[in-house]
Amino acid sequence: MFHPARHFMSRWTIRLFFMAMIGSAITWLWISRNGKDIGCLSSEECYQALINTAKRISNNAQQPQLQQQLEHQVNQFQQAKQQEDSVALLLKNQQSPMMHEHSILPRVNGAFVALARNREIHAMRSSMRYLEDRYNYKYNYPWIFLNEEPFTDEFKNLTRSMTNAKTYYGQVPSEHWGYPDWINQTVAKECRDRMVEEGIVYGGSESYRHMCRFQSGFFVMHPLLDGLDYYWRVEPGVKFSCDIEYDPFRVMQERDLKYGFTIALKEFYSTIPTLWETTLDFMKAHPDYMYPKSNPDSLFNVITQDDGLTYNLCHFWSNFEIGSVSFLRSERYQAYFRHLDQAGGFFYERWGDAPVHSIAVALMLSSKEVHWFYDIGYKHDNFEHCPTEPDWLVHGKCYCDPKTSFDYVDGSCIKDYLQVTNTTVNDYIITSNEDE
């Protein structure tokens, strides 16, 4: 894709390079002819030698011709050296568009939010590199890092070095990363042991359960998110395979979107056997929080295929999500989270934040408030979303292989989503060839 700003910078970079070459050639040509006469071998030595010689004869009235000659040479050399230094400085500043304030585009009130441990520093830096190179060098959206333990100086220094944006570091409150009073920890351990025997992924992990509970409801309440309109969740070790030629935060704002995703898939039933039953109880108690399922733009049928008798396990994979802070902080969402939290399923089963977020989105929002970020190539672990629309690999400068995209294989819920919303891929392309 043609970028006028980059083209302009590249063109001036080339011009400045040749100016530097010419300035250097003039400087060293003069030194080669006159350097030996004034006793110097480098441009700096010659410059100082000329200055010193000029000072020595400045008061010698008996050598007016020599004085004039040297003053002329000094002026010529100063001009050449100043030109060389100025061009060199300009070239240095042109090396990265991230270094210029004039290249930073207007922002909306958003930030990246990452839950990461100190030992994940290199995977986190990798994720940052992808996003900075593909997108954030143009905007400098801030980064917010959260951890259940204090961040080390190494983590802070190494993440700061990956971006020109501001970085913030916060610790998760202990009450948000531990067992609430109503959980029987003995029973919780028995449940974990049973899930280990059944071979369920993360079945025996306590920390995974604390993470899922935190990401389901508490993360958005952290003080570092105060004042934000939107968050973009970023995990350590994820990859972004396409240039992002627009601002997703601004798209969220301009379209009044509440939630955005890239991958939709089915959850393991064995991790959430009572989640839907618990959700139905909440729906009966709070019908005023539900978006009318009879409306044509309802997302209810994205998560059920039998009018709500059962949950079809479809969910938006929340390791990539761009969301509205006000929605997740709203009373309707937080009431749902508190209801689930009191039920104990985060510890007695293994409820994940992805199905929790997704069920809430499908029950409380309309399809007009949710967006599939189709044109953002994304990979987490072995699951990848790669845009497959014709010519998109070239247009989006994607390196991913469309054949590896998870969108249309067994286990994906994208087909269901498109069918329920009566949309196609083209409805979700923000930047198209026609826009150029």
What positions carry a catalytic annotation?
A: 321
Closest CA to 319 of 240, 380, 239: 380
For residue 61, what are its two tokens? 């009235």
Task: Judge whether 19 and 87 are in contact, CB under 8 Å.
Answer: yes
HSE-CB of 356 using CA atoms within 13 angstroms = 26
Say if residues 156 and 169 touch (Cβ distance below 8 Å): yes
For residue 215, what is the DSSP state? I
CA distance 309 to 301: 11
Interior/surface letters 80-95, b for 16+ CB within 10 angstroms, e for the rest = bbebbeebeebeeebe
- The span from the CA of 32 to the CA of 14, in Å, is 27
Distance CA 15, CA 91 (A): 10
Closest CA to 27 of 89, 76, 86, 92: 76
- Calculate the CA dihedral of residues 369, 105, 169, 244 and round it to 10 degrees: 60
Cα 143–Cα 144–Cα 149 angle in degrees, nearest 5: 135
| Mutual angle of helices 275-285 and 353-364, in 10-degree steps | 30
Helix axis angle, 275-285 relative to 331-343, nearest 10°? 130
* Enclosing H/E stretch for 111: strand 110-115
Query: Per-residue b/e over 372-387, b at no fewer than 16 CB within 10 Å?
Result: bbbbbbbbbeebbbbb
Instruction: Give me the phi and psi of 376, to 5 degrees please.
Output: -105, 105
